[in-house]
Amino acid sequence: MTKSTEKHAGTPGGATTADGGARTADTEARNVDAEARKGDAEARKGDAEARKGDAEARTGDGGARTERLTKVYGTGTTAVRALDEVTVTLPGGRFTAIMGPSGAGKSTLMHCVAGLDAPTSGRVFVGGVDLGALPDAKLTRMRRERVGFVFQAFNLLPTLTARDNILLPTTLAGTRPDGEWFDTVVRTLGLGERLGHRPSQLSGGQQQRVALARALITRPEIVFADEPTGNLDSHTGAEVLTLLRRSVDDLGQTVAMVTHDPAAAARADSVIFFADGRVVDVMDAPTPGLVLDRMRDLGGAA
Ligand SMILES: Nc1ncnc2c1ncn2[C@@H]1O[C@H](COP(=O)(O)OP(=O)(O)OP(=O)(O)O)[C@@H](O)[C@H]1O
Ligand SMILES: [Mg+2]
């Protein structure tokens, strides 16, 4: 009754996007930071090696994948099958975009893969670790230490300033924030003038940028961003995409981003197309034109 949806996004180390023009500008910006980042990248590599020896046997490459992931909300006649046996890979060190019509299950997929919501059936692996096999405390720790999440609804704490919202993950973990990285994130996202403001004193776009900064501040291995450019003007949106692209290219992070914008999707290494809780297509080396064509083929707004 359920059609197989075994698709895999990305070809390891293979294709890149074809938006060469936009990339040239990015390259310029990247070069400036490259030197400073090298040291960080090395340190992260060391961490990664150490983590390899961790007690949990990991088979993954820092990315995430699902096996026949199903999520049903509610029961009986009101039940909604938000995810229907989804088998998909978000390759490590790659930038994957997720597109599909409203209600297709994109946010549900992100929540389940990030360990924020429990699936009805099927399995989720993050960095080779089976989330379903982790006790609650370990799942919480894994989320805190290895995953960054930008919610569609921001989920900022209203009583905290922008600065304290951004630093919340480090506060919770009891770790010292990296001041240089904080400055880079805040500068890139144009939040320098707003750090003392509370969310109610910020525009929607500014709140979105604070949420993104919060997800990036610990330099997690995998970042889930649910429509991170949805409320931004085109200039800030482009900067956010550049930051995500850089976090993949320079820091080796894994990024999964939901978007409705073909130009934003084209900044990714591959695009997963979703409809009715299923993967209907995967595109490597996307361009805005190709993504738009595919959205039209799939019948409507992605
Ligand atoms: N907590 C919930 N309880 C019941 N149904 C839910 C819940 N969350 C989502 N759904 C339903 O699951 C389906 C998938 O929702 P989801 O939010 O994942 O879609 P989406 O692709 O992210 O859409 P959008 O582009 O509008 O954000 C929808 O039919 C939605 O109404
Ligand atoms: Mg959504």
Residue 13 in any domain: the answer is no
Within a domain: 180: yes
Ligand 1, atom 12: closest residue by C-alpha: 82
Instruction: Give the pLDDT confidence score for residue 48 in this predicted structure.
Output: 45
Q: Are 95 and 257 in contact (CB under 8 A)?
A: yes
Report if residue 183 sits inside a domain.
Answer: yes
- Half-sphere exposure for 12 (CA within 13 Å, toward CB): 6
Pocket probe mutation, ligand 1, options 69, 107, 109, 272, max atoms within 8 Å of Cβ? 107
State which of 108, 151, 279 you would mutate to test the pocket of ligand 1, scoring each by most atoms of that ligand within 8 A of its C-beta.
108
**From ligand 2's centre to the CA of 179, what distance in Å?**
32
Which residue owns the Cα nearest ligand 1 atom 2?
73
Report the domain count for the chain.
Answer: 1
Q: Which residue's CA is minimally distant from atom 18 of ligand 1?
A: 105
Asked if residue 110 is part of any domain, the answer here is yes
Q: Which two tokens stand for residue 159?
A: 């009583």
Structure tokens of 134? 């982790």
Instruction: Tell me whether residue 33 is in a domain.
Output: no
Q: What is the CATH number of the domain that holds 191?
A: 3.40.50.300
Q: Do 216 and 167 contact (CB within 8 A), yes or no?
A: no
**Nearest alpha-carbon partner for 87 in 112, 107, 62:** 112
**pLDDT tens digits along 22-70:** 444 454 444 444 544 445 555 555 544 444 333 333 334 679 999 999 9
List the pLDDT tens digit at each of the 302 positions of the chain.
444 444 444 444 434 444 444 444 454 444 444 544 445 555 555 544 444 333 333 334 679 999 999 999 999 999 999 999 999 999 999 999 999 999 999 999 999 999 999 999 999 999 999 999 999 999 998 888 899 999 888 899 999 999 999 999 999 889 999 999 999 899 988 899 999 999 999 988 889 899 999 999 998 999 999 999 988 888 888 888 988 998 899 888 999 999 999 999 999 999 999 999 999 999 999 999 999 999 988 875 55
| Distance from residue 3's CA to the centre of ligand 2 (Å) | 23
- The boundaries of the domain holding residue 91 are 60-300
pLDDT digits (tens, 9 = 90+) for 194-228: 999 999 999 888 898 999 999 999 989 999 999 99
Q: Residue 225: which residues within 8 A CB-CB, separation 6 or more?
A: 149, 150, 212, 215, 244, 255, 256, 257, 258
Structural contact between residues 105 and 69, judged by C-beta atoms closer than 8 angstroms: no
Quote the tokens at residue 285.
Answer: 């080396």
Q: Is residue 26 part of a domain?
A: no
**CA 284 to ligand 1 center in whole angstroms:** 26
| 290 part of a folded domain | yes
| The predicted structure's pLDDT at residue 134 | 93
What is the reported pTM?
0.79
Distance CA 122, CA 109 (A): 12
Which ligand is located closest to the Cα atom of residue 226? 2
- Domain assignment present for 208: yes
